[in-house]
A and B are shown apart, each in its own frame.
Chain A
Amino acid sequence: MTETRTNGHDPAVIVDRGYRHYEGRRTGRRGAVRAIVREGFRRVLGLRRKAKHKLFPWILISIALAAVVMLVTITWVSSTAGNPAGADDQIPRYGGFFDFVSVVALVFAGYAGPQLLIPDRTRGVLNVYFSRPLTVQDYLLAKSGAYAAVILSFWLAPQLLLHLGYAALSSEGFLSYLGQNTDILWKVPLAALAYFTLHASLVFLISSFVNRVGGAAAAFLGGLFGLNLIALFFNEATSAPGARWTALLAFEQHPRYIRDWIFGFESSLIPAQAGFGPGTSLTVVIGLAAACAALIVWRYRRLT
């Protein structure tokens, strides 16, 4: 500590704070995992970051919310024209909303995954993570948790607003509408979970090997659409023996098929056309998730 006295004034004191030891509670691995989930959520949404990091995710979120506003507005206009809310089949409702914003959601999924994994690897931040009491599994689990938080929020928040909007416009009354549509409370999250599982598996696998965020997002989106085209070609343009099995490669279609199953829709998706049931799509999603998880863990074990 240095003390300096100047002409009759109180002494100015420069304090060397030194170092304060910590003897309080430590949260252990659970606390570390929670921290990664929270930080991952912030990273994807650009929170506590410069404005340029916020721009893209919030544009996509705004589009999804704008779609809700549009659907609720159309429903309102339709109801004022004499159609009871929910009676117009042309207006997408909960199950249909997944398709209505599917492209935006896919782009968001392709953006979020690489953001969570690639900068940590390319900027050497993994060195900090793994010098803490964390295992590779803890890290990947926490990153998956962050991805789940952000992707499920992306799906569920607009659906919730949609639900409240339809309820507000309902001729049966707000609470009565909510009471009659309780099945939405499990159908929508379950369908969102199917989308999340497939997207997380593929985008994390790609992000584990690709070193550029844009490259990984492009590979994810290009891969999904490319495989769809291949499956479509073999199922519609050829009659080669065994061609129907290529329908299983249309990964993008599997969560949609599961969604159709959950909501009881008649499905015309590629796996359905090829004669596969929704149970097969569920098996593909689960199997793919398991295979991707094994590869990702292997990759990160080698990295560390």
Chain B
Amino acid sequence: MTDQPIIECRDLYKRFGNVRALEEVDLAVPPGITGLIGANGAGKTTLIRILLGLIRPTHGQASVFGTRVASDPAGLRARIGYMPEGSCLPADQTAADFVAYAAELAGIPIAEGRRRASETLFLVGLHEERFRYLGDFSTGMQQRVKLAQSIVHDPELVLLDEPASGLDPAGREQMLELIARFREFGMNVLFSSHLLDDIEQTCDWVVMLDDGRMIHSAPLDPPGEADSVSVEVFGDPQPLIAALAERGGGFTVEGAVINVEGAAGDVFALVRDALETSGSSVRRMGTRLSRLEDILVAAVKETDD
């Protein structure tokens, strides 16, 4: 990532009365798809709203595309798309009308807005349903319309606030696939979530917020082969531990869970062979922790220390 950052924050601080929403956030986000992760109340939505120029920071400054947000918020918003977390759809309009209206609000002429609305709804998988009223849509369909309105005006940056919230697993998967496709459209994305898997699956870069502070901002390596496996067996784990020790695999034991790592070859093959030798029955097995979870736990621990 040698490109200029698309988002920069310097010493960003925001208070709402006595509540500290953001504190000393220094940030430089490169082009691409960036995940903004943090627990509920970590300051994700506040950061997004500051980037949109909807609220002003108590002090510090935010820039998008090298322009200070405070200097030209409306001008920047013409280049940004935003999908809010909560409801934002009028029940009495059709999807086509609403998305075309959203395009017009961003300055696209009427006829072109209608054409783009149709294309964008096709892209998000709602072409057949585009003339149905939004009040009759399921949550998953509404999320897609929200996504469509955020990209209909060809923004350079899309801010997505919890885009997969409220979706069932299949809907979530489809939504993440759609967002991942924005990369091929040349769109930059800042995508907030409190779910590590969503970020891990979609993003090139990750920013972590905890209690208003930025605790991590770094590229997210592409997933490789699992180098650690977590396994839990029915009954006594000692035979399995002995079998693993015999094969030279490194492991740690946390209660009933054995975390196996540092194997020379395929760690899953090592565990399989050890299970066969020990005769233990598997209760649960999988990659030990997601890489992000490791990072998050470490970062929070470091901050707390």
The 8 Å CB contact of B88, one of A24, A26, A28, A127, is A127
Residues of A within 8 A of B187 (CB): 19
Evaluate contact between B93 and A48: CB separation under 8 angstroms. yes
Bound: A50/B134 CA distance, A: 12
Tell me the smallest distance from the CB of B213 to a CB of chain A, in Å. Answer: 26
Bound: A27/B102 CA distance, A: 13
Interface positions of B from 91 to 147, Cβ below 8 Å from A: 91-94, 97, 101-102, 104-110, 112, 116, 119-120, 122-123, 133
Residues of A within 8 A of B97 (CB): 48
Residues of B within 8 A of A82 (CB): none
Which of A91-99, A118-126, A242-250 lies on the face that meets chain B?
Answer: A118-126
The 8 Å CB contact of B109, one of A29, A31, A132, is A31
The 8 Å CB contact of B54, one of A27, A133, A304, is A304
Bound: A27/B81 CA distance, A: 17
A130 at the interface (CB under 8 A from B): yes
Indicate with 1 or 0, residue by residue over A131-142, a CB within 8 angstroms of chain B CB atoms. 111110000000
- Given A32-B107, A133-B74, A127:B92 Cβ within 8 A: no
Evaluate contact between B123 and A24: CB separation under 8 angstroms. no
Residues of A within 8 A of B116 (CB): 20, 22
Residues of A within 8 A of B77 (CB): 131-134
Tell me the smallest distance from the CB of A135 to a CB of chain B, in Å. Answer: 7
Which chain A residue lies CB-closest to B146? A128
Which chain A residue lies CB-closest to B184? A18
Tell me the smallest distance from the CB of B190 to a CB of chain A, in Å. Answer: 13
A35 at the interface (CB under 8 A from B): yes
Tell me the smallest distance from the CB of A4 to a CB of chain B, in Å. Answer: 20
Residues of B within 8 A of A50 (CB): 92, 133
The 8 Å CB contact of A19, one of B86, B90, B91, B151, is B151
Residues of B within 8 A of A9 (CB): none
Evaluate contact between B105 and A132: CB separation under 8 angstroms. yes
Tell me the smallest distance from the CB of B296 to a CB of chain A, in Å. Answer: 28
- Given A17-B122, A18-B185, A124-B86, A31:B104 Cβ within 8 A: yes
What are 24 contact pairs spanning A and B, CB under 8 A? A17-B122, A19-B119, A19-B123, A19-B151, A20-B119, A21-B185, A22-B112, A26-B106, A27-B108, A27-B109, A31-B104, A31-B107, A35-B105, A39-B101, A123-B87, A123-B88, A124-B86, A124-B88, A127-B86, A128-B88, A132-B105, A133-B77, A133-B106, A135-B74
- Given A120-B90, A123-B89, A123-B90, A131:B78 Cβ within 8 A: no
**How extensive is the interface on chain B, given as a class?**
35 or more
The 8 Å CB contact of B78, one of A17, A127, A132, is A132
Evaluate contact between A133 and B90: CB separation under 8 angstroms. no
Tell me the smallest distance from the CB of B119 to a CB of chain A, in Å. Answer: 6
Evaluate contact between A125 and B88: CB separation under 8 angstroms. yes
Tell me the smallest distance from the CB of A23 to a CB of chain B, in Å. Answer: 8
Tell me the smallest distance from the CB of A28 to a CB of chain B, in Å. Answer: 5
Residues of A within 8 A of B52 (CB): 130-131
B273 at the interface (CB under 8 A from A): no
B75 at the interface (CB under 8 A from A): yes
The 8 Å CB contact of B90, one of A119, A134, A135, is A119
Instruction: Give the secondary structure class of A's interface.
Output: loop
Most chain A CB within 10 A, of B81, B84, B122, is at B84
Evaluate contact between A26 and B74: CB separation under 8 angstroms. no
Top 8 nearest A-B pairs by Cβ distance?
A: A131-B82, A26-B107, A35-B104, A22-B154, A127-B84, A19-B185, A133-B74, A132-B105
Indicate with 1 or 0, residue by residue over A27-58, a CB within 8 angstroms of chain B CB atoms. 11101100110010001000011100100000
**How extensive is the interface on chain A, given as a class?**
35 or more
Residues of A within 8 A of B74 (CB): 29, 133-135
Residues of A within 8 A of B101 (CB): 35, 39
Bound: A70/B102 CA distance, A: 43
Residues of A within 8 A of B102 (CB): 128, 132
A5 at the interface (CB under 8 A from B): no
Most chain B CB within 10 A, of A29, A39, A125, A128, is at A128
Which chain B residue lies CB-closest to A16? B123
Bound: A120/B105 CA distance, A: 14
Bound: A25/B109 CA distance, A: 8
Tell me the smallest distance from the CB of A186 to a CB of chain B, in Å. Answer: 33
A129 at the interface (CB under 8 A from B): yes
The 8 Å CB contact of B105, one of A21, A43, A134, is A134
Bound: A127/B150 CA distance, A: 11
Bound: A255/B122 CA distance, A: 51
Residues of A within 8 A of B194 (CB): none
- Given A49-B93, A127-B84, A130-B54, A32:B106 Cβ within 8 A: yes
